């Protein structure tokens, strides 16, 4: 049973930075597409960024491009979302997701596993 363990998040002032990490707990496949989505009450979950661990290819949504970056650590089982220049509109619940497929698509239906979510609040 694949689990995603998220950490990071919290409350910051506008313009500050935060980072989120997500680790896959069970290494069934050699590579994954791992990504982050965010959701606010009453809205659909929206893609933020994704990273395919096999080739280190990254995908970043236009809404956060230039401010957010996604990367992996040396274990290849943890991704890091670095969020700079945070704005109040970035306030949301952020969810880590993973897919066993060997490419990434920034759509929630593409991902098989999801974390519990971590709150990011920017004021």
Note down pLDDT in tens along the chain; length 123 residues.
788 999 999 999 999 999 999 998 877 777 889 999 999 999 999 999 999 888 888 999 999 999 999 998 877 788 999 999 999 999 999 999 999 888 899 999 999 999 999 999 999
DSSP state of 31: -
C-alpha distances out from residue 79 to 72, 76, 104, Å: 4, 8, 14
Instruction: Specify the pLDDT at position 69.
Output: 97
Instruction: Specify the pLDDT at position 31.
Output: 81
Instruction: Specify the pLDDT at position 94.
Output: 98
C-alpha to C-alpha distance for 103 and 78, rounded to whole angstroms: 17
Instruction: Specify the pLDDT at position 80.
Output: 95
Instruction: Specify the pLDDT at position 55.
Output: 84
């Amino acid at each position: 049973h694949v689990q995603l363990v998220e950490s990071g998040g919290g409350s910051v002032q506008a313009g500050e930075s935060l980072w989120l990490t997500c680790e896959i707990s069970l290494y069934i496949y050699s590579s994954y597409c791992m990504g982050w989505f965010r959701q606010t009450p009453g809205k659909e979950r929206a893609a933020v960024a994704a990273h395919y661990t096999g080739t280190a290819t990254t995908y970043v949504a236009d809404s956060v491009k230039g401010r957010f970056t996604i990367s992996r650590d040396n274990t290849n089982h943890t991704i890091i979302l670095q969020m700079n220049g945070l704005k109040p509109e970035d306030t949301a619940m952020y969810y880590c997701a993973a897919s066993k497929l060997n490419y990434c698509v920034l759509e929630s239906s593409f991902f098989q596993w999801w974390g519990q979510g971590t709150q990011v609040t920017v004021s």
